[in-house]
Amino acid sequence: MNAPHGNLILNQVKQYKSDALDLLKKLTLKESPSTEPETQSKVRKKISKALNKLGYKTIHIKGKSSGGMLYARPVKKLKGQSIQMMLGHYDTVWPVGTLETMPFEIEGNIVRGPGTYDMKAGIIQAILALKTLKSMELEPDVLPVIFLNSDEEIGSHESTRYIRRLAKCVNRVFVLEPSLGPNGKLKTARKAVGRYQITVKGKAAHAGLDPEGGASAILELSHVIQKLFALNDPEKGITVNVGTIDGGLRANVIAPQSQAIVDVRTRTQADAESVEQAILSLQADTPGTQLVIEGRIGRPALERTPRNQALWQLSQELAAEIGIQLEQGQAGGGSDGNTTSQYAATLDGLGAVGDGAHADHEHIDIDKTLERAALLTLLLLAPPLKI
């Protein structure tokens, strides 16, 4: 169905401002840290209730170590209809009790609180978009579904297989992670992210009585660390960082074991695979030591592929209808959009406009966030992407 002019949709969304703030407050007050899955059912139930009122069937997919996932789809759907997915998460990095020092507050257009920006306001946007479609009796040609997980902030280890499965079936994906910076750039590129654990096994001996009888795992780790840092390439956007090291028993013992935890980020998937191969191919130089290397690229790169850029161009055109000038940017961190981008056109950073993700000044600009909800509504009404 042809969509009405963008300003009509924007005005409709703005009418729900007080409802949006009320629901955002309720979600924020239900603290839901990733590492405490028992806390997440309350916020999930609030989201489910809001979606049920809009004619959506919600399904709770239980997790083993997380609070599980929420999948929502319209009760009514046409056979063979194309599908589009709104993707997000309801876990946060903030532990229970954060509200005591970082309360939910509204000061003019600014809304503060743990998890408001990353990314409970993004969930509100999805609900507002669906509410607007329903109130204006608009039926998208592409069926909107929603998938929300509760382990995104800790790597999406349980939910990735579900996200991958859905991404293979949809026409496009709108990731409701917060936009990039106060200017609200959309995230059209994200680095691949990898994590590796390198353990060096040596041989213990008395450092004074029998130094030649041992093989120092710490000495070998020092060589490994230099090899790892040599993989950095700022021009290509490759960063390899040894974040923590550990090892040894005491000063008078040749260290029998040492360990390093390594973070890898690359702009392209090709570079990610190249760096991974280099790390997995490391060999010990110190006689009597051996390396045990574990880990992988956990999130592939979200790149500016033709289909992703087609979705970006569409968002620019629709944003212009409501007076928004969009910019695109690259984020150093990963999201579940990195995964969906491998299978379907993906546009990330469509969530709230604000600042302070994972920081104590976390906040959103509610008026600009409502504009993004209107943009999301327009995107949901667009015909299927052909690329």
| Global confidence as pTM | 0.92
Please state, in angstroms and as integers, the Cα–Cα distance from residue 15 to each residue in 220, 363, 366, 371, following that order: 64, 21, 13, 12
Predicted confidence at residue 231, as pLDDT, reads: 98
78: pLDDT strictly greater than 80: no
Distance CA 278, CA 334 (A): 21
80: pLDDT strictly greater than 90: no
pLDDT band at 25 (very low <50, low <70, confident <90, very high): very high
Q: Tens digits of per-residue pLDDT, 338-383? A: 999 999 999 999 999 999 999 999 999 999 999 999 999 999 999 9
1: pLDDT strictly greater than 50: no
Q: Tens digits of per-residue pLDDT, 30-57? A: 999 999 999 999 999 999 999 999 999 9
Q: Residues of 20-37 as b/e, b for ≥16 C-beta within 10 angstroms?
A: bbebbbbbbebbbbbeeb
Are residues 272 and 238 in contact, defined by beta-carbon separation less than 8 angstroms?
no
CB-based burial label for 341 (10 Å; 0-12, 13-18, 19+): buried
Percent of the chain with pLDDT over 70: 99
Torsion of CA 319, 325, 328, 331, to 10 degrees: -100
Percent of the chain with pLDDT over 90: 96
319: pLDDT strictly greater than 80: yes
Predicted confidence at residue 3, as pLDDT, reads: 59
Predicted confidence at residue 5, as pLDDT, reads: 82
Domains and CATH numbers, the chain: 6-189+301-381 (3.40.630.10), 192-299 (3.30.70.360)
Query: Degrees (nearest 5) of the Cα angle 68, 73, 74?
Result: 150
Q: Average pLDDT, stretch 159-172? A: 98
β-pairing, 192-201 with 257-266?
A: antiparallel
Q: Tens digits of per-residue pLDDT, 253-272? A: 999 999 999 999 999 999 99
Q: Average pLDDT, stretch 3-19? A: 92
pLDDT band at 151 (very low <50, low <70, confident <90, very high): very high
Please state, in angstroms and as integers, the Cα–Cα distance from residue 123 to each residue in 27, 31, 149, 166, 291, following that order: 10, 15, 11, 18, 44
CB-based burial label for 360 (10 Å; 0-12, 13-18, 19+): exposed
Distance CA 155, CA 34 (A): 10
Distance CA 142, CA 227 (A): 49
Nearest 5°: phi and psi at 348?
A: -110, 165
Cis before 119? omega within 30: yes
Q: Tens digits of per-residue pLDDT, 167-176? A: 999 999 999 9
Q: Which amino acid is at 301?
A: A
Q: Tens digits of per-residue pLDDT, 197-217? A: 999 999 999 999 999 999 999
Q: Average pLDDT, stretch 155-165? A: 97
